[in-house]
Structure 1
């Protein structure tokens, strides 16, 4: 079995000049490999290693010959040794790219992806990076297991979605109360991470079934200003509040089924998930989700998606209410002629949770991403506008209305890459204006994270 994608690069490997006999062994080993005599190449490469134990050329030639002999496990191990002794970026790329290819042929797709990300660290040209990205996409598609990680650090001026003015006004009795300090906007730094694990248990041209598990969490460190504000409270319970009291964790497990042959419009996905939610170290609610999504490929560059969700939420504390949430979300995605990405979306939500906790919400948004980097920076921006209505609310006489807006801009520094990931910065701002003034809030935050390049 010939690894054609690797062999043309062989002659870029380091030629050893220490001894003429070593040069002769290398030439003979290369000739045997070209003549499809892998056993001779392995023997000659072994002689080279006897003469020079850290010879990249010897390990690389031996790995190629082992792959040609269909001994993929040995080829991968020898390729790893070649990577370890390589002295140049070019040779490190050759070895890592080779091991990624061998692991793929052996059906070890996760290992293949890891080695391809390692190869991305040593690319010298756009062509090399493109070859790694294409190979990674092929391995990722073949791999029944996929793992996605994300994380960020975000300084923010409102970690708790607290009130701007810190007061509560009761309509009809002309009375104003000062809100507790922990319900006012508190500044600090957010630390967040999330993981999604998918395992495809069945696949055919007409369907796929995937198990999905997710867990995400966020915790905070309060700023000195927020700590001073809490310390000024006359309530000892409020004075004891720290950033971990606002920490959240969400976990869920579920199954997603995609069927490609039941709708003339395109693929249909259905999902079922069970999950739970913690806040401040307390488990507050359990939930069950049922989703249905229609995917409509309009043309090779445009796709429309319509997704509906029903969530039943069961409170685990007597102070909370059970609720039912209904979501309908539509999105239109288009790749323009210049490869810029355009996204339009709309959504509507209905939450039923008792007279003063039920509301309707409507939202529209637009996102735009530039295909061409600006000074090595990939840019994406988005804007969301929304409206929320409560028919009844505890502090008002005629319900509550919220108008909200959010905007963000993300810069990904593609010139800086490690394992195929590049650092990113997102600046986001949000503002909610409510007729129940204690719920008028605003927040600005800067998120430092990482983004995969492929």
Structure 2
């Protein structure tokens, strides 16, 4: 049985399409699809009040009417009520199982986030739009919008995750017996290869501090952690060992500055980094690094890169292994 919606005399006066009317002197009775069609037409013709009135009536009937929520979002955005528009578009995305409608809703939320300079959140919604895009044309729309927002976003985030089994989670030796200078030596059992499982997660951040036609400066941060679990065979070989003995973590912070010192050559880049690492729950090393890079354009499509790195490292588990290097 078809659902119908009764609207009062104000709708009859404001309606842009009398062809939809099933008239009485004081009211109209419209099917739900007809009401939605009138609301869409009202949006297109700029009759925001009518679109909002119809969406309100539809949502009184069904608060999870995704199309009505999207119509409310469109009318609210046109009226400048951006927070209302964002909430309605997000609700439409969640309420719908129609990929095309979800795409439109996600694109709208991304647009509203970008208007409020919430660029990272806008990028997340554009990824959602890409995931539900029902065709290549919409995928290209989402990709183009993502590129535009990324250029505006001062924050760049990269995430990495891995998980895998390994027959050598501790980077150990293949045998307990080694030969040095013709003499046999035995190594500690915990130094042999141990099997198990490893999972790692990495986070890279870059935040643009300043930028113009000739220079860009960014703050950098890097986090990495690898977690180890020993298998039953490894626990038999070394009963005193635990997976946490081989956990590894790194924290890096720094600044990168790029500048066109010699515009005819290419970009000059200077990067300073400070790092700290841990192994088995104990601090392993601290280091500082200075990187110098120069790009030289050889044609419109080719370029050469030259660089040098100065590094000073202090190994906290053994001062003997501390070093300074230039490459």
* TMscore range, shorter length: 0.7 to 0.9
> How much has 1:298 moved relative to structure 2?
5.1
**Residues 286-319 of structure 1: per-residue CA shift (max 9 Å, x gap):** 1111111223455565554333221111233455
Counterpart-to-counterpart distance in 2, 1:245 and 1:87: 48
Aligned to 1:251: 251
CA gap 1:299/1:103 in 2 versus in 1, 3 angstroms: farther
Q: Which residue of 1 aligns with 2:295?
A: 295
What's the counterpart of residue 61 of structure 2? 51
Measure the CA separation in 1 of the matches of 2:290 and 2:131. Answer: 41
Question: Which residue in 2 is equivalent to 1:386?
Answer: none
Matched, 1:66 2:68: no
Structure with larger RCO (C-alpha < 8 A, sep 6+): 1
Question: Partner of 2:276: helix, strand, or coil?
Answer: strand
Distance 2:112 2:126 in 1: 11
Shift of 1:206: 1.3
Equivalence for 1:322: 322
Unaligned runs of 5+ residues in structure 2 are: 5-29
2:3 is matched with 18
Please, which moves more after superposition, 174-183 or 213-222?
174-183
SS at match of 2:262: coil
Going by fraction, where is strand more abundant, 1 or 2? 1
Counterpart of 2:210? 202
Residues of 1 paired with 2:219 and 2:86: CA distance?
30
The answer to whether the 8 A contact 1:191-1:218 is kept is yes
Deviation for aligned residue 1:190:
1.4
Q: Residues 296 and 105 from structure 1, CA distance in 2 versus in 1: closer, same or farther, beyond 3 angstroms?
A: farther
Where 1:267 maps in the other structure, the secondary structure is: strand
1:310 aligned partner? 310
Greater percentage in helix: 2
Q: Structure 1 pair 107/39, CA: closer, same or farther in 2 (3 Å)? A: farther
Structure 1 gaps of 5+ residues are: 1-16, 232-239, 328-454
1:95-148 deviations in Å (ceiling 9; x for gaps): 112212222233211111111122223122222222222222221221111221
Q: What is the rounded CA distance, in whole Å, between the counterparts of 1:227 and 1:298 in structure 2? A: 57
* Aligned residue number for residue 193 of structure 1: 201
CA shift, 1:227, in A, is 2.1
User: What is the number of equivalent residue pairs in this alignment?
Assistant: 302
Counterparts in 2 of 1:191 and 1:88: CA distance versus 1, 3 Å: same
Please give the root-mean-square deviation of Cα atoms over the aligned residues, in Å: 2.3
Q: Give 2:279's aligned residue.
A: 279
Cα offset, 1:262, TM superposition: 3.2
1:180 maps onto 2:188 in alignment: yes
Matched, 1:217 2:217: no
1:181 CA displacement: 1.6
1:149 equivalent in structure 2: 159
Summarize the alignment of residues 396-411 of structure 1 with structure 2, pairs less than 5 Å apart. none
> Residue by residue, what CA displacement relative to the aligned partner does 1:228-259 show, whole Å, maximum 9, x if unpaired?
2224xxxxxxxx22222121111011111111
Aligned partners of 2:288 and 2:311: how far apart in 1?
A: 6
Partner SS for 2:264: coil
Displacement of 1:208 in angstroms is 1.1
